Amino acid sequence: MEKVRNGSGANSDVRNDAFQRTKQNASRPTSGLTVQTSTGRGACLHAWLACWILCAGCASLSDDGFDDPPAGKGILGGLDRDSVLGQVNARVGRTKEQALKSVGLGPDERIARKAFAEGDALFRQKEYRAAEKKYRRAAKRWPDSALEEDAMFMQGESQFFADRYSKANDTYGELVKKYTNSRHLDTISKRWFSIARFWEDYHREHPNGTLAPNVLDKKRPLFDTGGHAIATYQQILENDSTGLLADDAVMQTANAYFLANRYHDASDYYKILRQQYPKSEHQYAAHLLGMRCELMRYQGPDYDATPLLEAESLVEQLLVQFPDVLSQDPAERERLVKTRGQIVLERARRDWEIAQYYDRANHLAAAQRYYLSIAENFPETPLAAEARTRLAQIGGSPENEPSFAEKTQTWLAQWGADDTGGSSEESSPLNPAAQVQLATQPGTALPPRF
Give 211's pLDDT tier (boundaries 50, 70, 90).
confident
pLDDT digit string, tens, across residues 21-60: 544 544 444 443 333 444 445 555 556 655 555 554 444 4
Give 8's pLDDT tier (boundaries 50, 70, 90).
very low
- Please compute the mean of the pLDDT values over residues 64-68 and round it to a whole number: 43
Mean pLDDT over all residues of the chain? 79
Whole-number pLDDT of residue 382? 93
426 or 184: which carries more pLDDT confidence? 184
Give 87's pLDDT tier (boundaries 50, 70, 90).
low
pLDDT digit string, tens, across residues 224-279: 999 999 999 999 999 999 999 999 999 999 999 999 999 999 999 999 999 999 99
Whole-number pLDDT of residue 208? 76
Give 188's pLDDT tier (boundaries 50, 70, 90).
very high
Whole-number pLDDT of residue 390? 92
Percent of the chain with pLDDT over 90: 59
Whole-number pLDDT of residue 430? 42
Reported pTM: 0.67
- Please compute the mean of the pLDDT values over residues 303-321 and round it to a whole number: 96
Whole-number pLDDT of residue 292? 97
- pLDDT beyond 70 at 180: yes
- pLDDT beyond 70 at 281: yes
- Please compute the mean of the pLDDT values over residues 392-396 and round it to a whole number: 79
DSSP collapsed to 3 states, the chain? CHHHHHCHHHHHHHHHHHHHHHHHHHHCCHHHCCCCCCCCHHHHHHHHHHHHHHHHCHHHCCCCCCCCCCCCCCCCCCCCHHHHHHHHHHHCCCCHHHHHHHCCCCCCHHHHHHHHHHHHHHHHCCCHHHHHHHHHHHHHHCCCCHHHHHHHHHHHHHHHHCCCHHHHHHHHHHHHHHCCCCCCHHHHHHHHHHHHHHHHHHHHHCCCCCCCCCCCCCCCCCCCHHHHHHHHHHHHHHHCCCCCCHHHHHHHHHHHHHHCCCHHHHHHHHHHHHHHCCCCCCHHHHHHHHHHHHHHHCCCCCCCCHHHHHHHHHHHHHHHHCHHHHHCCHHHHHHHHHHHHHHHHHHHHHHHHHHHHHHHCCCHHHHHHHHHHHHHHCCCCHHHHHHHHHHHHHCCCHHHCCCHHHHHHHHHHHHHHHHHHCCHHHHCCCCHHHHHHHHHCCCCCCCCCC
- pLDDT beyond 90 at 400: no
